[in-house]
């Protein structure tokens, strides 16, 4: 247990190394129990991993029909007049997972889950928050904040969101026995899923999040939405405390935009300013934390390898052999 860092050459090699690690973890879990519970992320970082994992499953290297999954997050406020249309919106994370992973599998998972953000009507949510300020409070020190709904709110709608949408998702994860392998990426400001910079670690189970303006702007800049007006303003998301309850957490990151948060998450003290820095606390408590990076995102950690070694953190550069799916070598 602890922190282990793999630095690879580029996105393709990062994806292949991450897939080998994930495949090995799944195989180990399925030797010990009937099903493997996976935590999955969206975004560009895991797309290569998912293609390799689907190929491995389809070739019989592990039984995907014995896997169950829980995704990190989902938007509130996607276009669509009902939940079904919102779930199948091209920018929904449910649609992303079908397109990038689930549709590639010949043997389908036992069950796939995303947070129930599509069930929330954003206009009604905003109206209820405005009409019932006594029922909730914002938590966070930056522009993105979690909306903490009190346990017995006057608003039946807010009470339903807390009990069924937020707590209900956490209950379902617990009922499944917790997550065996959690795959995560990282945002440019160090956030994990929609646990935005500045949202406290304590009590960050499943969150209702009012999105940071920077997150909204990035969604437009990355081409996901035409204008900021079209972009959702809320999301349902696992928080850092819940993410890092998994038996193994594997973080993928590549590119210059991820360099600073990756470096600070390991070399600086844990802080809600960099939500993924909670991984240090997780590892100290016995968690198994694995970083798989390209050489750009991992540049400063490689430069500080002596400081990492002194703290018992293992870091190594990995050469990926030519044959796809081959084992790790260094």
Position 96 scores a pLDDT of 97
C-alpha distances (whole Å) from 164 to each of 39, 108, 208, 265 are: 20, 26, 12, 33
DSSP string, 138-170: EE-SSSSEEEEE-SS-S-HHHHHIIIIIIHHHH
C-alpha distances (whole Å) from 167 to each of 38, 171, 323 are: 19, 6, 45
pTM of the entire predicted model: 0.94
The answer, yes or no, to whether residue 313 has pLDDT greater than 90, is yes
Are the beta carbons of 89 and 98 closer than 8 angstroms?
no
The candidate with the shortest Cα–Cα distance to 225, out of 238, 236, 211, is: 211
User: For 268-301, how does the pLDDT look when each residue is reduced to its tens digit (9 = 90+)?
Assistant: 999 999 999 999 999 999 999 999 999 999 999 9
Is the domain defined by 2-317 classed in CATH 3.40.50.1360? Answer: yes
User: For 76-111, how does the pLDDT look when each residue is reduced to its tens digit (9 = 90+)?
Assistant: 999 888 999 999 999 999 999 999 999 999 999 999
Strand 206-210, strand 234-238: pairing: antiparallel
Give the pair of three-digit tokens for residue 155: 């608003």
Position 305 scores a pLDDT of 93
What's the gap between Cα 270 and its chain centre? 18
Give the pair of three-digit tokens for residue 95: 């649609």
Position 36 scores a pLDDT of 98
Strand order, beta sheet including 234-238:
73-76, 234-238, 206-210, 145-149, 136-139
The candidate with the shortest Cα–Cα distance to 186, out of 266, 107, 111, 245, is: 266
Position 170 scores a pLDDT of 98
Domain boundaries, the chain: 2-317
The answer, yes or no, to whether residue 322 has pLDDT greater than 80, is no
Tell me the pLDDT band of 328, cut-offs 50, 70 and 90: very low
Position 326 scores a pLDDT of 43
- Name the 3-class secondary structure at 1: coil
């Amino acid at each position: 247990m602890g922190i282990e860092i793999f630095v690879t050459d580029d996105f393709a090699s990062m994806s292949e190394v991450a897939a080998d690690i994930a495949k090995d973890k799944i195989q180990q879990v399925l030797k010990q129990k009937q099903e493997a519970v996976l935590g999955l992320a969206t975004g560009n970082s895991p797309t290569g991993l998912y293609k390799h994992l689907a190929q491995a499953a389809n070739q019989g290297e592990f039984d995907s029909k014995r896997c169950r999954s829980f995704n990190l997050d989902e938007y509130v406020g996607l276009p669509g007049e009902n939940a079904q249309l919102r779930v199948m919106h091209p920018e929904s994370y449910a649609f992303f997972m079908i397109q990038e992973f689930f549709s590639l599998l010949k043997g389908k998972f036992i069950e796939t889950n995303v947070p129930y953000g599509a069930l929330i009507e954003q206009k009604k949510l905003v109206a209820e928050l405005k009409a019932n300020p006594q029922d909730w409070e914002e938590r966070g020190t930056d522009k993105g904040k979690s909306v903490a709904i009190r346990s017995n709110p006057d608003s039946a709608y807010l009470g339903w969101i807390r009990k069924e949408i937020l707590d209900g998702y956490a209950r379902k994860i617990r009922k499944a026995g917790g997550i065996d392998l959690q795959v995560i990426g990282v945002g440019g400001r160090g956030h994990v899923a929609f646990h935005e910079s500045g949202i406290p670690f304590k009590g960050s189970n499943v969150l209702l999040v009012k999105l940071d303006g920077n997150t909204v702007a990035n969604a437009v800049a990355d081409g996901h939405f035409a204008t900021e007006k079209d972009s959702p303003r809320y999301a349902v998301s696992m928080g850092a405390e819940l993410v890092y309850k998994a038996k193994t957490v594997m973080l993928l990151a590549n590119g210059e935009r991820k360099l600073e948060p990756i470096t600070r998450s390991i070399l600086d003290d844990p802080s809600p300013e960099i939500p993924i820095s909670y991984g240090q606390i997780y590892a100290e408590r016995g968690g198994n934390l694995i970083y798989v990076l390209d050489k750009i995102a991992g540049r400063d950690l490689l430069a500080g390898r002596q400081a990492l070694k002194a703290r018992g953190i293992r870091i190594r550069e990995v050469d990926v052999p030519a044959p796809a799916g081959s084992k790790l070598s260094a």
